[in-house]
Amino acid sequence: MPPIKPTMREKKRYVLFALESEAPLNEETVKRGTYAALISFLGEYGASLASPKFIGYRASDNLGVLRCDHEEVEKVKAALALCRTIDGKKVAFRLKKVSGTILSLNSGFEKEKE
Amino acid sequence: MIDLDVRFQVRKEKMTEIGFERFLSPFSLELTKVADIRKLPPFSVVSSSDVELLREAAKSRNAVLLYNKGFQADVGLIRDLVGKKKAFEIPVAPLLESSGIARATLMTRMRFFIKQCVHLRAPIVITSQARDSFGLKSPHELIAIGEALGLTHEQAEWAISETPEMILHAAD
């Protein structure tokens, strides 16, 4: 099967966020909480359009990355902003940066560490 | 970027870190009777579900932000604010405090109210109305929520920058 042309691929955006929480949370909990927030705000249909994928979360500096469709990025940002609790603990997502490539987000990761 | 209604003691550094140049914690009052309006100090935020009380408050020089708690799209009330150096407050806190169908219903009412405000050219201001640090939202998040409520990106940006600036300038 020939590969899909770059112009035909679905365009993605990577959202770098910092998580402020009243208690430490592990990656699995943050992942479940993030998906729950998206389903709660966008619904199953909206989430399917956003095609979210949790890339990772670093508990040491509370930074995480979520991938979504480029046309739905504002809705994903709103969904994360309106998430108030994960696992019964108060949280606040602080959106840091949105990028088209994960490589440039890595530089954001490094800047945040500094 | 300005957050005009933060309801707890927050450090300036924290707000700068989030992305706000300025923030305010003005006097806020839930109106119960017309007499309350006469006692308002300068630069107050008034809230009520009663449209008639809010229309009275719109005449007061000291009430600069009006929070229509029921988001009733009353054309008379909205017209009262057109051309004045006041605005309707669109807080994010009620959205954070609700969930499920209650949040969906609230968003429907907010969206229709905002649509009427935009149509009649009444100024609106998006605020966090945060009561703790978890309730604080960055300018990007407020813009994203504004877009979810039916504003364009530019209108949402205007609601946290130019309109608050106009209100502060008028109050000085």
Please name each of the domains of chain B with its CATH number: 2-171 (3.20.20.140)
- Are the Cβ atoms of B145 and A81 closer than 8 angstroms? yes
pLDDT tens digits, one per residue of B136-154: 999 999 999 999 999 999 9
- Are the Cβ atoms of B140 and A95 closer than 8 angstroms? yes
Estimate to the nearest angstrom the gap between the alpha carbon of B93 and the chain centroid: 11
pLDDT of residue A6: 82
For chain B, what is the radius of gyration of the CA atoms? Answer: 15
Q: Hey, is the C-beta of A70 within 8 angstroms of any chain B C-beta?
A: no
Instruction: Tell me which residue in A74, A77, A92 faces B134 most closely, judged by beta carbons.
Output: A92
- Are the Cβ atoms of B133 and A40 closer than 8 angstroms? no
- Are the Cβ atoms of B140 and A77 closer than 8 angstroms? yes
DSSP symbol at A82: T
Residues 6+ apart with CB under 8 A from B149: B90, B107, B110, B111, B114
Question: How many CA atoms lie less than 13 Å away from B28 in the CB half-sphere?
Answer: 19
Q: Determine the residue of chain A that is closest to B104 in CA distance.
A: A41
pLDDT of residue B85: 87
- Are the Cβ atoms of B145 and A92 closer than 8 angstroms? no
Find the mean pLDDT for residues B37-63.
92
In three-state secondary structure terms, B130 is coil
- Are the Cβ atoms of B144 and A90 closer than 8 angstroms? no
Q: Hey, is the C-beta of A95 within 8 angstroms of any chain B C-beta?
A: yes
Instruction: Tell me which residue in A80, A90, A92 faces B136 most closely, judged by beta carbons.
Output: A92
Find the mean pLDDT for residues B165-169.
93
Provide φ and ψ at A19, rounded to 5°. -110, 120
Give, in degrees to the nearest 5, the angle at Cα B1 between A114 and B3. 105
pLDDT of residue A8: 85
Whole-model pTM over 0.90: yes
**Burial grade of B140 (CB within 10 A; 0-12, 13-18, 19 or more):** buried
Kindly list the distances between the CA atom of residue B124 and the CA atoms of A84, A88, B67, B160, B161, in Å, as whole numbers in the listed order. Answer: 25, 33, 10, 9, 11
Strands B87-91 and B27-30, sheet pairing: unpaired
Interchain CB contacts (distance < 8 Å): A and B: 51
Kindly write down the DSSP assignment for every residue of B57-126, as one continuous string: HHH-SSEEEEEETT----HHHHHHHTTSS-EEEEESHHHHH--HHHHHHHHHHHHHHHHHHHHHT--EEE
Nearest C-alpha neighbor of B68 from the set B41, B38, B88: B88
Q: Hey, is the C-beta of A36 within 8 angstroms of any chain B C-beta?
A: no
Suggest the residue from B138, B151, B152 to mutate for an interface test with chain A (most A CBs closer than 10 A): B138
**Chain B residues inside the 8 Å CB shell of A40:** 99-100
**What size, in residues, is chain B?**
172
Nearest C-alpha neighbor of B25 from the set B52, B44, B7, B46: B7
Cβ–Cβ under 8 Å, residues A53 and A67:
yes
Cβ–Cβ under 8 Å, residues B39 and B63:
no
Kindly tell me if the per-residue pLDDT of B36 is higher than 60. yes
Helices (runs of H) and strands (runs of E) counted in chain A? 3, 5
pLDDT tens digits, one per residue of A6-49: 888 889 999 999 999 999 999 999 999 999 999 999 999 999 99
- Are the Cβ atoms of B147 and A92 closer than 8 angstroms? no
- pLDDT band at A111, cuts 50/70/90? low
